[in-house]
Chains A and B, each alone.
Chain A
């Protein structure tokens, strides 16, 4: 018999409180009728949300972030899908080395990547802007996508692909009729997750975007003006809800239709 361990329970409660209470303050103060983030709360208002909706600079930053996020997620998922296929299905030369090289952006500090890219990009005579931001996001998101897709590709029976070949399909037909439908949940999860990563990425965008602000940069810019703070809180609250939903959906999709019924071992990011 296990005894109930109250110490561990307490630890868990403190852990989650520490993790989520500061985040929860954002939505709370976003409805507070005051400029400063201090208790006690004044009164309930939607005016910060109203301000948020009517800020044209915010809209531009949001559109920039969405554009970058869409392109980055599609490209990094595509690259990762090809890499995952290669790593799980073929004898890749320098397997460990190339796998490690793709995952390296995980551990390289973003600021190093940012500095390196800014030097190369401007050195080649190109303008800073959303294009280098997107490229850097692809670089940064690909390892996440690769891990998601590899776990799915490894999880399904390779005989299924051989069966498709045996029944007359060539490599291309096998991929589209068997492999792709079976990894589709992971592909969608990879798209969502890389979109979210790109969407709230700050350092790379800060270095490489020049005057084309992304949403995190816009928020950072607004923080300097106390009067602008509340509508950033409102924006923050919306982002928390939307990204949480995306991550939950991606996690759910990743395990959906997993033939083994086992949950993926690598958790949500």
Chain B
């Protein structure tokens, strides 16, 4: 066992009757890593988390944590603790007794219990709330109690099932930063389930993108955004312009593609592309530059017409229709659009290094 394989998930599958919820998943998670499982609802991410927690048993495969196989170990004997989506704060006992709930089985003195509870309360900034009951707490406070209740057990792995989903936007963003800081300070491995790609991107060391029970890509957020392994990942993570394209020729990593509405170019692919793959090309909005004249500074210039703009404070999104492409291209710019407005003719400037050849099929 080394730190990179703190959690090892091997060939893990889970079937519910005829439905395959988790399909042959292999992931290694490092010690102290903030690892996210990201995917649309029903993709199997929660089932995978519940298998890690011990609430579900896999149909096939194994899980080991810190070098020992926990596949057949029930939830109450695992070195994992969970923060539930609805927090699951026990309503019949107060905050203090909720937090010390899990310490009863650990043979420690009453003083140590009290000390650990007050440490945990301090960590989640809930000092003074010991005697409150669940129905006297706000959503954010309940979430902190759930965190404290799990962390007071000093688990090897903390599992979080969409814990921020029920909070409003501002509080959610605050909690994202707080959770991240908390994770860094306690050094516990976090496995975080979310369907919110922004949340996964801002908080995680690495993200696993799931769809239909399969892991499509496991990468750091930056890499996930810049080098999506297939169409699903590219489309799911952030905004992207997708253009229908065909492969003309393949020479190792250099792929000559005919991009609909733009032309034929040779692009260096980041994944292995075969002649019989169906592909699209993708360009992120931030990689398209807009100008009112043809300045020839980029690899590709395309003439277009502005159809719409939307202003987001620090960024402006501009939609430009170009001949031969059904959907207007989207680009984002932090600069003001000098002399450009809706219906203006414009030029789009794109560099070849920013164009991605993306497979439609699975990697």
Contacts and interface: CB of A to CB of B under 8 A. Distances in A.
Interface of A: 157, 159-160, 162-170, 173, 177-178, 181-182, 257, 259
A259 B82 contact: no
Contact of A182 (B74, B75, B92): B92
16 contacts: A160-B90, A160-B91, A162-B84, A163-B84, A164-B90, A165-B54, A165-B74, A166-B53, A166-B81, A167-B81, A167-B101, A168-B104, A169-B105, A177-B101, A178-B90, A259-B91
Contacts of A163: 82, 84, 88, 90, 149
A167 B149 contact: yes
B92 A257 contact: yes
Interface string B211-240: 000000000000000000000000000000
A168 B102 contact: yes
Given A181-B92, A182-B91, A167 B153 contact: yes
B81 A259 contact: no
Interface string B104-120: 11100000000000000
B103 to A, nearest CB: 9
B76 interface: yes
A169 B101 CA distance: 9
A160 B135 CA distance: 15
B55 interface: yes
Contacts of A182: 91-92
Interface string B79-95: 01110111010111000
Nearest to A180: B92
Contact of B153 (A164, A168, A170, A173): A168
A34 to B, nearest CB: 55
Contacts of A259: 91, 135
Given A167-B102, A182-B92, A257-B92, A162 B81 contact: no
Contacts of B135: 259
A159 B84 contact: yes
Contacts of B74: 165, 170
Q: Chain A at the B interface: mostly helix, strand, loop or mixed?
A: helix
A162 to B, nearest CB: 6
A251 to B, nearest CB: 20
Contacts, number: 65
Given A159-B84, A159-B86, A166 B75 contact: yes
A159 B135 CA distance: 16
Interface in B48-102: 53-55, 74-77, 80-82, 84-86, 88, 90-92, 101-102
Nearest first, the 6 A-B pairs at minimum CB distance are A167-B102, A159-B88, A163-B88, A168-B105, A165-B75, A181-B92
A228 to B, nearest CB: 50
Contacts of B55: 162, 165-166
Contacts of B150: 166-167
B80 to A, nearest CB: 8
Contacts of B91: 160, 182, 257, 259
Interface residues of B, number: 26
Nearest to B75: A165
A177 B90 CA distance: 10
Interface string B141-152: 000000001100
A39 to B, nearest CB: 54
B220 to A, nearest CB: 29
Contacts of A164: 90, 101
Contacts of A157: 86, 88
Given A163-B90, A168-B106, A170-B76, 4 more contacts: A165-B54, A166-B76, A173-B105, A259-B135
A164 B104 CA distance: 11
A194 B68 CA distance: 51
A157 to B, nearest CB: 6
Contacts of A257: 91-92
Contacts of B102: 166-169
Contacts of B75: 162, 165-166
Q: Which of A163, A173, A259 has the most CB of B within 10 A?
A: A163
A37 to B, nearest CB: 50
A165 B53 CA distance: 10
Contacts of A170: 74, 76
A269 B199 CA distance: 51
Contacts of A177: 101
A14 to B, nearest CB: 43
A257 B153 CA distance: 29
Residue among B76, B85, B150 with max Cβ neighbours from chain A (10 Å): B76
A41 B76 CA distance: 71
A257 B93 CA distance: 12
- Greatest chain A CB density within 10 A among B75, B85, B135 is at B75
A257 B92 CA distance: 8
Give the interface centre of A167, A169, A182 by most chain B CB atoms within 10 Å.
Answer: A167
Given A163-B82, A164-B101, A169 B76 contact: yes
Nearest to B74: A165
A164 B101 CA distance: 8
B238 to A, nearest CB: 32
A162 B149 contact: no
Contacts of A168: 76-77, 102, 104-106, 153
Contacts of B54: 165-166
Contacts of B88: 157, 159-160, 162-163
Contacts of B101: 164, 167, 177
A166 B88 CA distance: 11
A166 to B, nearest CB: 5
Nearest to A182: B92
